[in-house]
Structure 1
Amino acid sequence: MRNIDEDTITQAVLESMDGCRNPRLLTVMTSLVQHLHAFAREVKLTEDEWFTAIRFLTDVGHITDDKRQEFVLLSDTLGLSMLVTTQNNKKPAACTEATVLGPFFVDGAPEYQNGDDVSNGAVGAPCFVQGQIRGVDGKPVANASIDVWQSDEDGFYDVQKTTEDVGDMVHSARGKLRSLADGRFHFRSILAEAYPIPHDGPVGKMLDALGRHPWRPAHLHFWIKAPGYDTLITHVFRDGDQYLDSDAVFGVRSNLVVEWVKHGPGIAPDGSVMTTPFYTLDYDFVLNQQEAAA
Structure 2
Amino acid sequence: MRNVTSETLTDLLLNLSGPDTDPRVQEVLGALVKHLHAFATEVGLTHSEWRKGLELLTRAGEISDAERNEFVLLSDVLGLSSLVDMINSPDDCTSSSVLGPFHVLGAPQLPVGGDLIGDNAGQQVVVQGVVRDQAGAPIEGAVIELWQTADNGLYSGQDATQPDYNLRMAMTTGADGRYAVSTIRPTPYLVPTDGPAGDILNATGRHAWRPSHLHFIIEAAGYRSLVTEVFPSDDPYLDEDAVFGVREDLVMEFQPGTRAALPADIEARDRLDEGFSSVEFDFVLPPA
- TM-score after normalising by structure 2: 0.90
- 2:136 maps to 138
Q: Give the SS at the match of 2:114.
A: coil
Task: Work out whether 1:77 is the aligned partner of 2:77.
Answer: yes
User: How far apart in 1 are the matches of 2:91 and 2:47?
Assistant: 48
Matching residue's letter, 2:126: F
Q: Which residue of 2 aligns with 1:63?
A: 63
Contact 1:267 1:274 in 2 (8 A): no
1:236 aligns with 2:230: yes
Aligned partners of 1:227, 1:248: CA distance in 2, in Å?
Answer: 33
**CA deviations over 1:166-196 (Å, ceiling 9, x no partner):** xxx7211110112232222211111021111
Distance verdict in 2 for CA 1:19–1:206, change over 3 Å = same
- Tell me the amino acid that sits aligned with residue 103 of structure 2: F
| 1:220 pairs with 2:214 | yes
Q: 2-side partners of 1:218 and 1:241: how far apart?
A: 7
Change (3 A) 1:258 1:3: same
Quick one: distance in 2 between partners of 1:19 and 1:268?
Answer: 64
* TM-aligned CA deviation for residue 203 of structure 1: 0.9
Residues 15-70 of structure 1: CA distance to partner in whole angstroms, max 9, x if unpaired? 33346633322222221111111111111111221121111111111111111100
Q: How many angstroms apart in 1 are the aligned matches of 2:226 and 2:38?
A: 36
1:141-152 equivalence runs, <5 A: 141-152=139-150
1:237-276 equivalent positions in 2, closer than 5 A = 237-262=231-256, 269=262, 270=266, 271-276=269-274
Taking the aligned partners of 1:79 and 1:263, their CA distance within structure 2 comes to: 36
**Which one of 101, 104, 109 corresponds to residue 102 of structure 2?**
104
Structure 1's unaligned 5+ residue stretches are none
Distance in structure 2 (CA, Å) of the matches to 1:163 and 1:274: 23
Measured in 2, the distance between the counterparts of 1:147 and 1:108 equals: 10
Amino acid at match of 2:210: R
Coordinate RMSD, CA, aligned? 2.2
C-alpha contact (below 8 Å) 2:110/2:171 kept by paired residues? yes
Which amino acid is 1:44 matched to? G
SS across alignment from 2:158: helix
Residue identity opposite 1:184 in structure 2: R
Counterpart mapping for 1:128-207 below 5 A = 128-162=126-160, 170-207=164-201
Alpha-carbon distance change, 2 to 217 in structure 1, aligned in 2, over 3 angstroms: same
Deviation of residue 276 (structure 1)? 5.0
Q: Determine the C-alpha separation between the residues in 1 that align with 2:18 and 2:157.
A: 44
**SS of residue paired to 1:185:** strand
**For residue 117 of structure 1, what is the aligned residue in structure 2?**
115
CA gap of 1:18–1:163, structure 2 versus 1, over 3 A, is farther
Report the TM-score when normalising by structure 1.
Answer: 0.88
Tell me which amino acid in the other structure corresponds to 1:116: G
Partners of 1:275 and 1:23 in 2: how far apart?
Answer: 58
User: Which stretch has the larger CA shift, 23-32 or 173-182?
Assistant: 23-32
CA contact 2:14–2:30 (8 Å) conserved in 1:
yes
Structure 2: runs of 5+ lacking an equivalent: none
User: Contact (CA 8 Å) 2:112, 2:178: kept in 1 or not?
Assistant: no
Identity within the alignment, % = 43
Distance 1:14 1:117 in 2: 54
Name the counterpart of 1:53: 53
Q: 1:199 to 1:276 in 2, by over 3 A?
A: farther
Partner Cα distance (2:149, 2:219) in 1? 22
Residue 74 of structure 1, CA deviation = 0.2
Single out whichever of 242-251 and 179-188 deviates more from structure 2: 179-188
